[in-house]
Structure 1
């Protein structure tokens, strides 16, 4: 938080421990240097000293929260402070799997979901569109696909004995023959020439075919009502409906998309607003979640839309859209405000992204927000619980700057307030930087039993890396409370 918020130490500790530690008479003459602190009997050192004002001790609320093992979050839209107990890291698991090819590792971890009724150590996950990279060819950067035949796949996994074990695989396919592959399987190649990235062979010399059925798989959610999955795809951006065996059923796309791509084997519903066509390439539909009752689905974009153009790449506003699964129509949209890059060292706002979400219920989501750094360079890798119950529904508004004056992405925080736009409230549930999670792309997030957070990273197939191992890790955290 930017302001220095003070709380009476006696009152605050009374709320925490049931004991008032000082009265006005007792603290008279006390100096900051002589005060000692403990929490649950253990000595602690607050990051700032208390002050003696009128015979009462005051301690900055952030210092108090940190000293007593709590996360502290400030909401400038609601002028509120949230204190949240920190979790315990209870498990670490590594993927041990053979390489797909020379220099290309097996990959999972672009998503993660736990199905109701499954054992607590069994999950479903995906990799993304397959191995890909960027190389310079004749002074231009091109996108290469060293395994163009790779089929995006849903994996059923189990965690046990420190390892991630693959139990079953469900390659994505159409009900018929994909003209690009000559069989039912799809690829991870882009959909539309001139709109999506141009795909090239490993040397960057030959342009590959586009696959209108291709998916860049990033998020995975389960609908208990019909025993199916929904996948968020960066290309469309779209959300694809998939049977448990990997067969594509239908796809939700932005208005105007179907005029550019023919997908007769998979019905495309133009239910996303046209503004979603203005996505930043490779920064599309990153996260998807479905409420436990199967009533609603949420999708989050990884980065701000280029709305109206790439000048908004450093906007703090990312979009979360809500669908009624009975009608496949959007019913709400929210302006998620990412953390301010200015509070970090050398971090660009455009490098702060959403990577996954979990729909706890219709009003509470877990959001994975992170930077683009790894290891000791990482500054932001947090799981937030957000509350949509009193956030502004902006569906159908601020999509263009012709009628609204500015698009959502063009607005400053002050302009959001001036327009009466209140984003969801946020509170930290897990700070992965504090736990020294070693990888950049924390892209899979799940919640088990309401009190266990599970995260996994995407290793990008090890392309361009020098990892001695596979480079995929799944960690589990136990919360001292239940999220509901």
Structure 2
């Protein structure tokens, strides 16, 4: 084998509910593709996001819900057709060329109530309005979460990243949320949450762009450091800076103190290099995202960077770009990293990256890949985000066999 090979793995989506709507049936299936992680015991875990949701225009066009059209003017508004289906973890088994679900753990509060996918009542950053099928606005939920990334600790508990806050959830092996880490100064907005809130994350995290919070998580081999990346450049000091910026902030968090100890800059590829996306239409710089991290070895990470159709996997060595001066974690520092990044005048350390794989070389591989995990030094598992089947997309797993060992130290 002189080049990577991609093998589709068989998988059958679990149907959770079918709704009869004016434009046709909406079949909701289990969501799995927002993130993958592997435990020390070899177990493989997948996480879905907030639950089934549709953009307003899709709800009108595909499902005939014309009475919802007025909500399309609200930035980020989502239709949530089945609130009973919320954030959940699923343990997977791989046998030969087939993937199956061994068990699913809905995330729950300490009282045993299922966690909702409704947005919390944020006051500083933008919030995505949630709309019911009948057109009514759904009340925010201080315990709600849009789960997007997962890492498994040595004791079987989980770290889960989410986009609304953004925030981090500490979750017990049985799916119970033990605590939520939010940006400094934001704890009051979660005052009525059904679990403890700790504002131990840098206040800067609250500058995330709408729906672009924490999507990529990975634990160091010893469990002492949690690496987390924002999905996109921050909107700091404003959305215009987000749209122009070319670098994503990557943080290292001490799992014992729950404090960020280092910040790095990951450079995004130019839009023109995402060939499949460019062939389908213009790809804006702000459409490029970091969706997954995997630890390769000490200070070595594998990063999943994507448009929609094109996904690239890059190895990065944290030693190749020194951690930034702590002042760049201060929201008052000017000019901001995002402002400097957008002008090309960024005179700061930037991570070097080595391309491992591009799906432009494998047109058969699906769009919207968000989950990635190492099966062995030469083997990866990838999965797409099927959005709970709301657009008729099936979950698809791909095994990637490499002709070389991934770098490790």
TM-score by length of 2: 0.86
Q: Secondary structure at the match of 1:275?
A: helix
C-alpha separation in 1, matches of 2:167 and 2:9: 32
Relative to total residues, which structure has the larger helix share, 1 or 2? 2
CA 1:264–1:100: 2 relative to 1, 3 Å:
closer
SS of the residue 1:283 aligns to: coil
Mapped to 2, the partners of 1:91 and 1:200 lie a distance apart of: 36
What do residues 384-423 of structure 1 show as CA deviations (whole Å, max 9, x unaligned)? 111101313125333568543x11111137422xx3x121
Aligned counterparts, 1:82-481, within 5 A: 86-102=3-19, 103=26, 104-118=28-42, 123-135=44-56, 136-137=69-70, 140-141=73-74, 142-160=77-95, 162-176=97-111, 184-194=113-123, 195-203=126-134, 205-224=135-154, 226-263=155-192, 265-314=194-243, 315-344=245-274, 345=278, 346-372=282-308, 378=309, 380-394=310-324, 396-399=326-329, 403-404=333-334, 406-412=335-341, 414-416=344-346, 419=347, 421-463=348-390, 465-467=391-393, 471-481=394-404
The Cα shift of 1:363 comes to 0.8
Q: Structure 1, residues 249-290: CA drift from partner, whole Å, max 9, x if none? A: 112211111021215642222222211111111111111110
Deviation string for 1:292-323 (max 9, x for gaps)? 21111011111111000100232111111101
For each residue in 1:344-377, what CA deviation from the matched residue of structure 2 results, as whole angstroms up to 9, or x when unmatched?
A: 54221001101111122341111110003xxxxx
Indicate conservation of the 8 Å contact 1:355/1:444, yes or no.
yes
CA-CA distance at 1:325 after TM superposition: 1.2
| 1:230 aligned counterpart, secondary structure | strand
Q: CA deviation at 1:337?
A: 0.9
Using the TM superposition, give the Cα deviation of residue 186 of structure 1 relative to its aligned residue in structure 2, in angstroms: 1.0
Q: Which runs of 5+ in 1 are unaligned?
A: 1-39, 41-68, 70-85, 177-182, 373-377
Count of matched residue positions in the alignment of Structure 1 and Structure 2: 376
Alpha-carbon contact 1:95-1:473 (below 8 Å) kept: no
Deviations 1:187-233 (A, max 9, x none): 11101155421211024x21112221111111110111x32110011
Is the Cα–Cα contact under 8 Å of residues 324 and 330 in structure 1 kept in the other structure? yes
| Separation (CA, whole Å) in 1 of partners of 2:45 and 2:93 | 9
- 1:93–1:160 CA contact under 8 A, matched in 2: no
CA contact (8 A) 1:308 1:400 kept: no
Alignment partners' CA distance in 2, 1:185 and 1:230: 18
* Distance change (3 Å), C-alpha of 1:437 and 1:116: farther
Secondary structure of 2:388 counterpart:
helix
Higher RCO, 1 vs 2 (CA within 8 Å, ≥6 residues apart):
2
Structure 2 Cα separation of the partners of residues 206 and 273 of structure 1: 35
Change (3 A) 1:401 1:461: closer
What residue is the counterpart of 1:76 in the other structure? none
Aligned to 1:95, the other structure's residue is in SS state coil
SS in 1 for 2:205: helix
Structure 1 position 459, deviation (Å) = 0.4
Distance 1:89 1:410, change over 3 A: same
Please say if residues 33 and 371 of structure 2, whose CA atoms lie closer than 8 Å, have aligned partners that are also in contact.
yes
Question: What does 1:29-108 correspond to in 2, within 5 Å?
Answer: 86-102=3-19, 103=26, 104-108=28-32
Q: TM-score, normalised to structure 1's length? A: 0.73
Root-mean-square deviation over aligned CA pairs? 2.2
CA contact 2:8–2:396 (8 Å) conserved in 1: no
Contact kept in structure 2, 1:364 and 1:387, CA below 8 Å? yes
Note the residue ranges of structure 2 that are not aligned, 5 or more in a row. Answer: 20-25, 57-68
